[in-house]
Chain A
Amino acid sequence: MAKKKNISVAVRPTAADHGFNIMVTTFMVLLLIILIVPIWSTIALSFRPANYIGSYLEGMFLAPWKWSTAAYRSLLGNQGFLNSFGNSLKILVMGVATALFLTVPMAYALSVKGVPGKKWITIFVMIPYVFDVGVVPTYLLISKLGLVNHLPSVFMPVALSTYNMIIMRQFFEGIPNDLRESAFIDGCNDVQIMFKIILPLSKAIILTIALYYGVSFWNDYMRSLLYLQKSALKPLPLLLRDILIGTSMNDNLEASAFGSAPIEAIKAASVFISAIPMMIAYPFIQKYFTKGTLAGSVKG
């Protein structure tokens, strides 16, 4: 990442520039503190031992040597865990692939200037965006399509998100039109322009939208609950929810499958376990966030 300050050695930074830098740094540090609180307290909570005593505040700063891994053991040790993790992974990969396959062409098509009927197509996609029809109408469709008890039922109803598509279109529109025009003059058709000009310049946004889709598929439990009725197909969020709610309902049981961890620790641990793949994904995506992607792409 080339910093712009390095490029312009000729001009000395002014007092206003210093003030700006101090402001930015202060803001970032303050934000860091504010953001660390929930993250840290959730970590501490997930390691809370069963016989913990004390206030919430003390709980947040519980010393690591008092930590107990019981919550993680009970979650990761669940007999369905690996299977569910696998299901979620399949949904994630298939879902993001399908979603990009549907979203990128449409976003590109609607970003091209002067296509007759474009406005009407945009309105056509905006109508379902604002109308939320509820659970049953969609269930009836999925059932008729025979998708019930198939993993794609989790992502197919939302594989083309209008929100994501419109955002992506906006980024495509931001790419200077001269590029397309010159490619057109060079004899490229619209599809070739998409592959040669637009996509290579849009790695950041495509990955960001992929992340959006990935997170929504990975965390979804409502559709899995409705459409995946076989225990063997259960994805991770559904399993974690079952464990969570099940554990807190075990009041009339003489033995619990996961006795040793307090419920609040299981809650917190399940959050981390389910968020880990996405936490790994984002820093990877950040690598493609480089300043000035479009700089120099237009020949002077």
Chain B
Amino acid sequence: MKKTIIVLLVALLAGSFAFAQGAGEAAASTGPMTITMLYSATQTEAGSLPDDWAGYAVLRDKLGIDLQLDMLPSNPNDQDLAIRTRAAADELPDFFTCSREVWADLAKNGQVLDVTDYYDDMPNRCAVMFDQAARNFVTYEGRIYGFATPSAIAGNEGLLVRKDWLDNLGLAAPTTLDELFDVLYAFTYNDPDGNGKNDTYGYGAFVEETVSYEIYPGRRFEPLMGAFGVEGTWDMGADSFGLQIHKDAYYDWMVFFKKCIDAGVIDPNWQSYKKDDFRAAWKQGKFGCFREQNSAYASENNYSPFDANFPNGGFIVVDAPIGPNGDQSVGPLCQGMRVYAISSDVSAEKAAKIVEMFDWMSYGEGYMLCGYGEEGKNYILDADGLPQSDASLGDLGYNQAGGQRYIQLRNCAFNYSNAQEIALRYPGYITKVSQKYMSAGDVLLEMQKKTWTATPGQNSMPAPESTDVTTFYQQGIAEFLNGKRALTPENWKAFVEQFDKIGGLAWEQQGYDFASANGLLQ
């Protein structure tokens, strides 16, 4: 069997070749200082920052930095895993971004650098971010171990209602919970799209939850929960602090929720939809009222399928419905944060360089290079000195597909709050089919004006120690809604008592300790 021997030999060779391949390329350099950075890309699928990105040269020539970038995977759980395993092996990059949970463990273990004294070295960045809440976000035992930058625009979601359906049925935009219920009912049973089929629902949602902040049934139901004052996981009031589920009004909310489900006005797929299914569903006109994010609704790419399907269709942003006791809220409002940290293994000299680079990214040349790319290649300046993308740039324009790779570091540059940035990010456009003007920026401003419950820092609240507590919570509520448990005051009380016994009370205490220690009580 000569052949087999040859095959095995080749295998052996391939194996040894494999080991030899790609051996360490890190050579000690005398010139610029090498900084390794793990970053969260604006758009992972567009691919890593190109080698010809002009920022590399500027960093090398002006700051003496040889920046070595690696991109984090796009899934948040994968990101956590990647950082945690590297931390366990002491392979953390010099500078990286991670979730707050991971950061908290690293800070506790002494694996990230105390940067309290470095804030003063970033005058430009401090001018646009790092308020007290942001510093609290990354404080561990009185010292600051990272930089918390805004990760998204606060209050960028809103309650949308199909305007054309309201008009078809001769209904006014709902303001109270009762009116909303009537609208949902009509959307479900009165054939709002006039296609002669009973194929629409009133309210659409899917389960989008963060246990410590927006627990089951989650964010997409908050405008309805807000009418009972039970939106979010916690009530953050100094006097009324506690888990929302402990409020009497939570039972009223459950009764209303169950009523909606039994009346069939909520798309029954809400428990099985994933995010993509949900988004595909409203674009196909399956339901007429839902909570959605400004850009997911109104930016050109996201709106165009809906526009093609329903050229005469459209949405209005309405305020959250007012409940029986006058409560009203689209949801809890708090600024999302992205944590940057420096490995505690770097030298003081390198740490200073990293801070210098981070500051450079937040203003002037660095800001433009990270946020919009290269002038003349990815953007041109208009008369007001603002970056614009036009046809002359072709595919490489910063808002075109090919230009996306050049702005992968945008998260390090943007502050997600100033009006100019928002206007540039969400330019107005004319829709392809219905030829109407749309602007995700305008939608954002409208959404921000609605009634929110300001609860800064709620997104840093602790999750329960044990999964059992969460499981019991979620499973119990789902079973009440599905009729597996009868929704009566006695049953509800028994459920909450059992929840407390399993660890609900301990969790509430843990939350109270955390909130009071970090000044989160309102």
Direct contact of A and B (CB under 8 A): yes
A137-148 CB mask vs B (1 if < 8 Å, else 0) is 001100110001
Please pick, from B7, B45, B304, the residue contacting A258 in the complex, using a CB distance under 8 A: B45
Inter-chain contact A254/B73, CB cutoff 8 Å: no
Q: Which of A5-13, A21-29, A192-200, A283-291 contacts B (4 or more CB under 8 A)?
A: A192-200
Inter-chain contact B74/A150, CB cutoff 8 Å: no
Q: Which of A32-40, A90-98, A109-117, A176-184 contacts B (4 or more CB under 8 A)?
A: A90-98
Q: How far is the CA of A100 from the CA of B5 in the complex (A)?
A: 12
Inter-chain contact A253/B299, CB cutoff 8 Å: yes
Please pick, from A135, A150, A267, the residue contacting B19 in the complex, using a CB distance under 8 A: A150
Inter-chain contact A254/B81, CB cutoff 8 Å: no
Inter-chain contact A241/B48, CB cutoff 8 Å: no
A143 contacts across to B, CB distance below 8 A: 89, 91
Quote the shortest CB–CB distance from B209 to chain A (angstroms): 16
Q: How far is the CA of A231 from the CA of B15 in the complex (A)?
A: 23
**Given known contacts A53-B285, A143-B91, A225 and B280 CB-to-CB distance under 8 angstroms:** no
**Given known contacts A79-B405, A97-B10, A252 and B304 CB-to-CB distance under 8 angstroms:** no
**Given known contacts A135-B85, A143-B89, A249 and B4 CB-to-CB distance under 8 angstroms:** no
Which residues from 147 to 161 on chain A have a C-beta closer than 8 Å to any C-beta of chain B? 148-152
A136 contacts across to B, CB distance below 8 A: 84-85, 88
Inter-chain contact B43/A246, CB cutoff 8 Å: yes
Quote the shortest CB–CB distance from B26 to chain A (angstroms): 10
B11-49 CB mask vs A (1 if < 8 Å, else 0) is 110110111011100000000000000000011111110
B294 contacts across to A, CB distance below 8 A: 252
Inter-chain contact A231/B71, CB cutoff 8 Å: yes
Inter-chain contact B284/A53, CB cutoff 8 Å: yes
Inter-chain contact B284/A241, CB cutoff 8 Å: no
Inter-chain contact B309/A152, CB cutoff 8 Å: no
Inter-chain contact B22/A151, CB cutoff 8 Å: yes
A250 contacts across to B, CB distance below 8 A: 43, 301
Please pick, from A51, A80, A257, the residue contacting B308 in the complex, using a CB distance under 8 A: A51
Which residues from 31 to 75 on chain B have a C-beta closer than 8 Å to any C-beta of chain A? 42-48, 70-71, 73-75
Please pick, from B275, B284, B402, the residue contacting A248 in the complex, using a CB distance under 8 A: B275
Which residues from 233 to 269 on chain A have a C-beta closer than 8 Å to any C-beta of chain B? 233, 238, 241-259, 262-264, 267
Which residues from 288 to 332 on chain B have a C-beta closer than 8 Å to any C-beta of chain A? 293-296, 299-302, 304-305, 308-309
Closest residue of A by beta carbon distance from B310:
A53
**Given known contacts A53-B285, A79-B47, A143-B91, A254 and B440 CB-to-CB distance under 8 angstroms:** yes
**Given known contacts A100-B11, A101-B15, A256 and B43 CB-to-CB distance under 8 angstroms:** yes
Please pick, from B5, B14, B43, the residue contacting A253 in the complex, using a CB distance under 8 A: B43
Most A CB within 10 A of own CB, among B5, B47, B399? B47
B73 contacts across to A, CB distance below 8 A: 225, 238, 241-242, 245
A148 contacts across to B, CB distance below 8 A: 89, 91
Q: How far is the CA of A106 from the CA of B277 in the complex (A)?
A: 48
B173 at the interface (CB under 8 A from A): no
A54 contacts across to B, CB distance below 8 A: 284
Most B CB within 10 A of own CB, among A196, A242, A259? A242
Inter-chain contact B295/A231, CB cutoff 8 Å: no
B172 at the interface (CB under 8 A from A): no
Interface residue count for A (Cβ, 8 Å)? 61
Closest residue of B by beta carbon distance from A54:
B284
B43 contacts across to A, CB distance below 8 A: 246, 250, 253, 256-257
**Given known contacts A196-B1, A242-B45, A248-B275, A139 and B401 CB-to-CB distance under 8 angstroms:** no
A53 contacts across to B, CB distance below 8 A: 284-285, 309
Quote the shortest CB–CB distance from B517 to chain A (angstroms): 30
Closest residue of B by beta carbon distance from A101:
B11
Interface of A is mostly: helix
Inter-chain contact B425/A254, CB cutoff 8 Å: yes
Inter-chain contact A78/B21, CB cutoff 8 Å: no
A241 contacts across to B, CB distance below 8 A: 73-75
Q: How far is the CA of A24 from the CA of B97 in the complex (A)?
A: 59
Q: How far is the CA of A93 from the CA of B10 in the complex (A)?
A: 11
Quote the shortest CB–CB distance from A218 to chain B (angstroms): 16
Q: How far is the CA of A100 from the CA of B42 in the complex (A)?
A: 41
Q: How far is the CA of A94 from the CA of B14 in the complex (A)?
A: 6
A251 contacts across to B, CB distance below 8 A: 293, 295-296, 302
B102 contacts across to A, CB distance below 8 A: none
Inter-chain contact B89/A151, CB cutoff 8 Å: no
B111 at the interface (CB under 8 A from A): no
Quote the shortest CB–CB distance from A155 to chain B (angstroms): 9
A189 at the interface (CB under 8 A from B): no
A230 at the interface (CB under 8 A from B): yes
Q: How far is the CA of A152 from the CA of B78 in the complex (A)?
A: 21
B137 at the interface (CB under 8 A from A): no
Closest residue of A by beta carbon distance from B20:
A150
Q: How far is the CA of A50 from the CA of B153 in the complex (A)?
A: 27
A226 at the interface (CB under 8 A from B): yes
Quote the shortest CB–CB distance from A60 to chain B (angstroms): 15
Q: List 20 A-B contacts (CB under 8 A).
A: A52-B284, A97-B10, A104-B8, A135-B81, A195-B5, A200-B1, A225-B78, A226-B82, A242-B45, A242-B73, A243-B44, A243-B45, A249-B74, A253-B43, A253-B299, A255-B300, A255-B400, A258-B45, A259-B300, A263-B280
Residue positions of A touching B, CB distance < 8 A: 50-54, 78-80, 90, 93-94, 97-98, 100-101, 104, 135-136, 139-140, 143-144, 148-152, 195-196, 199-200, 225-226, 229-231, 233, 238, 241-259, 262-264, 267
Extra inter-chain contacts (16) besides given A80-B47, A225-B78, CB under 8 Å = A51-B308, A51-B309, A52-B284, A52-B305, A53-B285, A79-B47, A135-B85, A139-B89, A199-B4, A250-B43, A252-B295, A252-B296, A255-B301, A257-B45, A263-B279, A263-B280
Nearest 7 CB-CB pairings of A with B:
A97-B11, A51-B308, A251-B296, A246-B45, A257-B46, A143-B89, A259-B301
